[in-house]
Each structure stands twice: as structure tokens, then as C-alpha cells.
Chains A and B, each alone.
Chain A
Amino acid sequence: MRIFHYWFALWGIVSRELLRFVKQKERFLSALVRPVIWLFVFAAGFRAALGIAIIPPYETYILYEVYITPGLIGMIQLFNGMQSSLSMVYDREMGSMRILLVSPLPRWYLLLSKLFAGVFVSILQVYVFLGIAWFYEIQAPLEGYLWLLPALMLSGLMLGALGLLLSSFIKQLENFAGVMNFVIFPMFFMSTALYPLWKLQESSEWLYKLAEYNPFSQAVEFLRFALYGQFNQQAFIYTAVAFALFLILAIIGYNPSKGMMKRKGR
């Protein structure tokens, strides 16, 4: 195998995802409508919800809309990751996955390419969302938008890897509703996307602990700090480790001789 083959496979997978993304305008719109509604409707009702506390990376008091924005960026990537997992299940049902997996390239590479393709799409969605938020006066320092890019890569990969892992468990498309109920909602609500940790601690100690160790929280905090030009080391390590763990498990899951594929083959 030459490097050319690797590049060709990556390009094939990314362009397929992009093509799908461009062709399905509703998908792009719905991916945007969700966080925009959260921002304009949900957050607007809680303008004064945060009370008086300055939490890093913020250096002064902020409106709730400002606080929730990195959480909504995380939401875009979370849904995108899950959407990719949904498409994997679909591909498996329709048989196109077989074409992908019979490629002579290593399986981990194919799965990673698939992940990159998903992350690329989510990054486009995030920047369009931030553009809308800018006109709603939610504005971070300009360099923050640059620093956000590598952070989006990592958080997107982590959430995509989680989706990939889940997709190795799901036998049929219909089971995706379960993913919504048991993964997306708990991950999103039990995180720092909507409320800071100190606020969660005020309501319950166990909710605080769950949110603190939720990898989605760490990804959101990593994004939040990056958007304000700061590096949150703890969140970075946590997100990177979670990514590595999910990816390894997903690769095992997709290994026909070891993982879920084997079980399904029975």
C-alpha cells in the first residue's frame, strides 16, 4: 500500500460525506435550526439565570446566551457524531459498508477517515452557527475563532468515535431512537453545556459529579476555553483520552473476528 492509496481512500470517504451533506440541504438546515432555537428561545428565557459569578474563561459577567453558546457548539458536534453513527447503521443495512470494509486498507484507517469526514461537516455547521450568533451579539475575540478550529477537531473526533462505537452495537436503524434517549439527552443535559458546575452543585451533588466526569462536559469546556483564546489542559487530556478509548473500542467493535460484527454474524 502506498501513501497515495491512503489519500485516495480518505478523499473518497470525505467527498462522499460532503456530497451527502450538500445534497441533503434539510440535514444541514435541521442541524442549524436545533442550536439556533436553543439560543433564541431557550436561552432568551434564562438571561438572568447565571446570577453573580465569574467563571473562567470569562473575565466578567456574561449573559446566559454567551454561556450556552459553546454548549450548543458541542450539541452540533454531538448530533453530528450520532448522525454519522446512524449513517453507519444505514450503510450496513444497505450493503455499502461491505464495499468500504473490503478495501485492502487497514480497518482502523477506514474508520478514522469516516470520522474525519463527519468532523469536517460538523465544523462547517459550527462556523455557520457562530456566524448567526455573531449577529445576535454573541461575539468572542477574533483569535478565539481560530483557536476553536483545532479544539473542534478533537471534540468532533471524540464525539464521532463515540457514535462509531455505538453504531457497532446497533443492529437496525429503528434502534436509533434508543441512542437519542439513552445517549444524546443524558449526555447533553448532564453536562456543563447548559449550566456551569457550581450551579449544578447547588442543585445536587451527584448531578455535579456526573456532569464533571461526563466526557461531553470536558469537550464543551475545551471548546469554551478555546473560543476565548485559552487552553484548558485538563479538558484537553480528558477529551483526548476519551477519544482514544472510544476509537479503540470502535475498532474492536468493527473487527469481524472479535467485536460486535462477530456477534451479529451469528
Chain B
Amino acid sequence: MNIKVLLSSALLLISTSSTAETVFVSLEKDNAIAVVDPIAGKLIKTVNIGQRPRGIKLSPDAQTLYIAVSDDDTVLEVDANTLSVIGKLPSGEDPETFAINSLGTRMYVSNEDDNQVTVIDLQSKQAVATVAVGVEPEGIAVSPDNQWIVSASETTNMVHWIDAKTHEIKANTLVDPRPRALSFSADGQQLWVTSEINGSLMVIDVATKEITQRIHFAVPGVGKEKIQPVGVVVDDIHQWAYVALGPANRVAVVNAQTYKVEKYLLVGARVWNLAFSPDQQRLYTTNGVSHDISIIDLAEHKVTKSIAVGRYPWGLAVKP
């Protein structure tokens, strides 16, 4: 009997040790979504979705997948289990990136051509406000306490601090040229911003809205002009930050305590966006030009696998 109990608990351990998660990847040129099983390291299927899908995010309850289909001028609401389209959101023209608040009630969309941010109520599926921001807004994020919406204008070189209640810009932070992506630390005290042209990463103190750290990258054997930071994520325990360095084909591992770059991990060509696994044991990257995603083991900081997914993977969302 004891052996039986031992065996069954061992089996249970084995079956629960590798949590099954699904990675959804938007494929800009294939007009589709790739569905990947990252534990098995396999592309499961590709689903046609709409014209030029780019920004992709899950609702906080992981039941709805939102996909910005830029050339269809809408953000699609997709059932994350069946992948059938259940609705369309009035995103404004050419939506690329968007953010969702932690309650799952509001979506904020960057409208690059109109220099504005569109606020969408996810219950009524209506645009409830537009906020005029700088030229070419791209990166957008919501603070963990849902107080701030931050929008980065690529040409104005500014981060705009929008009050989530009044939809008014309360402050602006001048940043390095062509800011691309923004990410709040889990405690909401820091905002990490990448600058594509300057090749830098900035850490902004949310309380003062001032840059407190500026980190530069130097990859051995790679020209400075190829170092173009794009996606950035910070882990929940504020130990590591990871930055996609675009055509440098590397992900920089930054110590979030000392702000030192500890390692450069080789991934596919033109690494663009990043996403954690739910347990933050792995990091997934989209490699636009090599048409694949890479899987990074975060315990060892090693790239374990790259999986071909389709043409021009742009963004990814991970469903637990």
C-alpha cells in the first residue's frame, strides 16, 4: 500500500512539476496567431486572425485574448480557449500597442498616426475618452495600482503620465531618443523605459517622475548601431530586468538591484518583445527576422530552445 501511495504521489509530482502553459504569438506577416506549447517545445497550430496582428495581451482572468489587428483598425476580442473572435473594440486607426488595467475593465490603446491614446471600457466595449499625447505614441503601460497610464511618444521623446481617473496628463518626463517600451516594477515604484536610438535603458522613479538610472549596453562583437533596446520586463521580486536588444539578437540580463548588465543571451534575429511564464521561470522572446521565438530558462539564464512559429512574430501572451 505504501508503495502505491509513494508511486501515485510521485506521479502527481511529475505531472504537476511542468505546468502546462500556452504561448500565443502574433505573426505580423502571416496575419495569424501561433499557438505554442513551450514545455513540449512545439508549435501546436496557427490560426488566421486578421490583417497585421501586433499587440497581444490576455485579460487578467486569462479567458480573453486581445489582439491589435493594425490593418483592420481594430482590437479583436478572442476567446482564449477556442480562439474564436467574440468581439471588436473601437481602437482608433492603426492600433499597435495597448495596455489593460489589472481589473480588466479598461484598455488603453496607442494611436500612432493620430498622436493620441484611446480609452476603451471593456464592459460596454465603447471608447470612453481620447487623450492627446506627443508625436507617435507607442509604448504604453498601466501602473499596478491602476492610478497611472504611461505613454511613450517616439518622436517627442517623452513619457506622458496620464491620470487614470481624469484622463489628463499630469506630468511629462523627457527621456532618451525614441522611447519604445515601458514596464512598471511589480511594486509600482519604478518605471523602466527603453530608448531605441540611444541604445539605453532608463529607470524612472514613479514618485518624482525623474530618471534615476541610465543603463547602457555593449555586446562583444556587435556594433553599437545594432543595439536597439525594445521590449523590457522586470520580475516580480525585483531581482532581474530583461531587455530585448533588437538587431543585436541578444536579451540583456540586468540586475535590478545594482543596475549592472550581468549577461547577454543570444536569441534569434531582431528580438522584439518579451513575456514571462506565469511562474516566472521562463522568458519568451519574439525574434522578428528569424521567424521564431526563443525560450530562456531564468534559473540558469540560458536559452534552451528556439521554435519556428511563422513570419515576423511580433508580440506574445502567455496563458497559464
Residue positions of A touching B, CB distance < 8 A: 44, 47-48, 52, 54, 59-63
Contact across chains for B305 and A59 when beta carbons are under 8 A apart? yes
7 pairs, CB–CB < 8 Å, chain A vs chain B: A48-B222, A60-B267, A60-B294, A60-B295, A60-B305, A61-B268, A61-B294
- CB closest residue in chain A, given B292: A54
* Chain B 233-273: CB-based contact to A (< 8 A → 1; otherwise 0): 00000000000000001000000000000000011110000
> Looking at the complex, which one of A44, A48, A59 makes contact with B306 (CB distance below 8 Å)?
A59
Q: How far is the CB of A33 from chain B (nearest CB, A)?
A: 23
Contact across chains for A61 and B221 when beta carbons are under 8 A apart? no
Report, nearest first, the 7 A-B pairs whose CB atoms are least far apart.
A47-B221, A60-B306, A59-B305, A60-B303, A61-B266, A52-B290, A52-B269
Check B63 for interface membership: any CB of A closer than 8 A: no
The CA-CA distance from A59 to B305 in the complex, in Å, is 5
Interface size on B, residues (CB 8 A): 17
Given contacts A44-B221, A47-B221, A60-B305, 13 further A-B contacts (CB under 8 A): A52-B249, A52-B268, A52-B289, A52-B290, A54-B306, A59-B304, A60-B267, A60-B294, A60-B295, A60-B306, A61-B290, A61-B294, A63-B266
- CB closest residue in chain A, given B295: A60
Check B60 for interface membership: any CB of A closer than 8 A: no
Check B320 for interface membership: any CB of A closer than 8 A: no
Check B87 for interface membership: any CB of A closer than 8 A: no
Contact across chains for A61 and B220 when beta carbons are under 8 A apart? no
Return chain B residues, CB-CB under 8 Å to A54. 306
Contact across chains for A61 and B222 when beta carbons are under 8 A apart? no
Return chain A residues, CB-CB under 8 Å to B41. 59
The CA-CA distance from A62 to B302 in the complex, in Å, is 11
Return chain A residues, CB-CB under 8 Å to B306. 54, 59-61
- CB closest residue in chain B, given A60: B306
Return chain A residues, CB-CB under 8 Å to B267. 60-61
The CA-CA distance from A108 to B222 in the complex, in Å, is 54
The CA-CA distance from A42 to B190 in the complex, in Å, is 43
Q: How far is the CB of A60 from chain B (nearest CB, A)?
A: 4
Return chain B residues, CB-CB under 8 Å to A52. 249, 268-269, 289-290
The CA-CA distance from A63 to B222 in the complex, in Å, is 12
Q: How far is the CB of B228 from chain A (nearest CB, A)?
A: 16
Contact across chains for A60 and B304 when beta carbons are under 8 A apart? yes
Return chain A residues, CB-CB under 8 Å to B289. 52
Contact across chains for B268 and A47 when beta carbons are under 8 A apart? no
> Looking at the complex, which one of B220, B295, B304, B305 makes contact with A47 (CB distance below 8 Å)?
B220
Q: How far is the CB of A138 from chain B (nearest CB, A)?
A: 12
The CA-CA distance from A54 to B41 in the complex, in Å, is 14
Q: Indicate the member of A47, A52, A60 with the most B CB atoms within 10 Å.
A: A60
Return chain A residues, CB-CB under 8 Å to B221. 44, 47-48
The CA-CA distance from A48 to B226 in the complex, in Å, is 13
